[in-house]
Chains A and B, each alone.
Chain A
Amino acid sequence: MKTRVVITGMGAVTPLGNTLEETWKNLLAGKSGVSPIESFDTEGLATTIGAQIKNFEPEKYIDPKTLRRMDPNEQLAIVASQMAFDDAGLKTADLDLDRCGVIIGSGIGGIKTWEEQHQALLEKGPRRVSPFFIPMMIIDMCAGLVAMRFEFRGPNYATVSACASAAHAITDAFRIIQRGDADVMITGGSEAAMTRLSMAGFCSSKAMTTQNDQPEKASRPFDKNRDGFVMGEGAGILILESLESAKARGARIYAEVVGAGMTCDAYHITAPIPDGAGAAKAMKLALKDAAIEPEAVDYINTHGTATGHGDIAEVKALKTVFGDRAYKLAVNSTKSMLGHLLGAAGGVETAVTALSIHDKVVHPTINLDDPDDECDLDFVPEGKRELDIRHAISNSFGFGGHNVSIILAAHS
């Protein structure tokens, strides 16, 4: 008998709020977190807008000396983890810390630090590269730092799969508890890749929108006039816990994690396989893992980035898996408002999916003024919708052909 796994705490820092609560409120209201980029010089970049976090105050959570030695990516991971830990009502003293772990994903890691230190190397030479360069840059340090903060001595590492990083992290954390190797896992993703170099790279790869003159309308998943994603930054962290542990301490349960599926397109470095076969297979595996029929699913939180090929491939995948039921599902894109948080996207979106189940309401997909002919599902364009959800799927796909589907269920 597999151990049952539930979500008991969540935390997020996003372009729509420095807490998950504020983010959720703004998502339900259909607000966009996209604006002209102010944190660095966008001169010469094809894309000059982004979904930036605003008024983030890590100094409220992290002492000044430690803070200076953390890349923003690490700061986001720590702050969102603290929020999730507090939200779950966890107390370090009450936990068997050897059975508590951390898996936090990031697509890119400490690229701001990388850029600054590379500049120091070129201008001043190798002796001027900071001894903190490596710990600030490497992706796994988010998990390491979070473990130090809470004294979690169980399984600890990072997952790296571009925009599926957080979803892989959550899937691994789910499996670890499911097979009895841990009781509590802090998991999700963080990303702080809004830098000049990173933006230049994404611009060159033609993956991002160039609708700079209308920032709030630029992220247009499933719309005819979509032209790429809007880069975002932030972190989304969940506390996964064995049902037994959650019950023993009387914890609030947002939703149960009941299944996950992972595949690869094995097709192209950045483009999805056109028929969405890899994504479809991931969803089918997740359904099999959860031991449920497609008819038991009510809501899909899509990967939905607003790229030309990606949105169509995902819609095709949904039709492959759900057949006629695809048209009866509520299907939305969190990225229409939050932009694309890359390696953190799956963390925030799984949290959003859990809140949708818990609060019995789904947020809209905004900017869907003129749906693509091939995107003919119910994307909830009119505004938030009350919905009793039995099961929901959160999809995350990444450059490299990675596909992850996670199924959450209402906990009764």
Chain B
Amino acid sequence: MSVEEKVKEIVMDKLNVTAEQVTPDASFVEDLGADSLDQAELVLALEDEFNLQISDKDSENLKTVGAAIDYITSHTS
């Protein structure tokens, strides 16, 4: 499974949204209804899945699905 597919799957599971909603441009807060606790949980799940550490500063910039995919792609080999 590609990074993109895996990220989408996690977002769908954690935010209880459909595949159609999880587009690269979709904003976690505005389009997918995430609150601050949802976002914190999402970052934890992504860290676990991709075995990396996302700093609080970096996580603040992961506002869209696409941004999360790009970040993970560039921080994993």
Contact = CB atoms under 8 A, between A and B. Distances in A.
Contacts of B53: 127
Interface stretch (A102-110, A130-138, A299-307): A130-138
Contacts of B48: 128
Interface in A124-152: 127-128, 130-132, 135
Contacts of B44: 127-128, 130-131
Contacts of A128: 44, 48
B16 A131 contact: no
Interface string A324-366: 0000000000000000000000000000000000000000000
Among A128, A130, A131, the most chain B Cβ lie within 10 Å of the Cβ of A131
A385 to B, nearest CB: 50
Interface residues of B, number: 10
Contacts of A131: 36-37, 40-41, 44
Contact of B16 (A64, A127, A130, A135): A64
B16 A63 contact: yes
B15 interface: yes
Given A130-B44, A131-B41, A135-B37, 17 more contacts: A63-B16, A64-B16, A65-B15, A65-B16, A69-B37, A127-B44, A127-B47, A127-B53, A128-B44, A128-B48, A130-B41, A131-B36, A131-B37, A131-B40, A131-B44, A132-B37, A132-B41
Contacts of B41: 130-132
Nearest to B48: A128
Contacts, number: 20
Contacts of A135: 37
Interface string A32-75: 00000000000000000000000000000001110001000000
20 contacts: A63-B16, A64-B16, A65-B15, A65-B16, A69-B37, A127-B44, A127-B47, A127-B53, A128-B44, A128-B48, A130-B41, A130-B44, A131-B36, A131-B37, A131-B40, A131-B41, A131-B44, A132-B37, A132-B41, A135-B37
B46 to A, nearest CB: 12
Nearest to B15: A65
Among B36, B37, B40, the most chain A Cβ lie within 10 Å of the Cβ of B37
A283 to B, nearest CB: 45
Contacts of A65: 15-16
Interface of A: 63-65, 69, 127-128, 130-132, 135
A130 B38 CA distance: 10
Nearest to B36: A131
Nearest to A135: B37
A292 B24 CA distance: 70
Nearest to A134: B37
A207 B19 CA distance: 52
A223 to B, nearest CB: 49
Contacts of A132: 37, 41
A128 B44 CA distance: 7
Interface in B15-51: 15-16, 36-37, 40-41, 44, 47-48
A64 B14 CA distance: 10
A66 to B, nearest CB: 9
A64 B15 CA distance: 10
Contacts of A130: 41, 44
Contacts of A127: 44, 47, 53
A128 B16 CA distance: 21
A110 to B, nearest CB: 15
B56 to A, nearest CB: 10
Contacts of B40: 131
A131 B39 CA distance: 9
A167 B16 CA distance: 37
B33 to A, nearest CB: 9
B43 to A, nearest CB: 9
A105 B37 CA distance: 25
A380 B48 CA distance: 58
B69 to A, nearest CB: 22
A64 B47 CA distance: 23
Nearest to B54: A127
Contacts of B47: 127
Contacts of A64: 16
A63 to B, nearest CB: 7
A128 B45 CA distance: 9
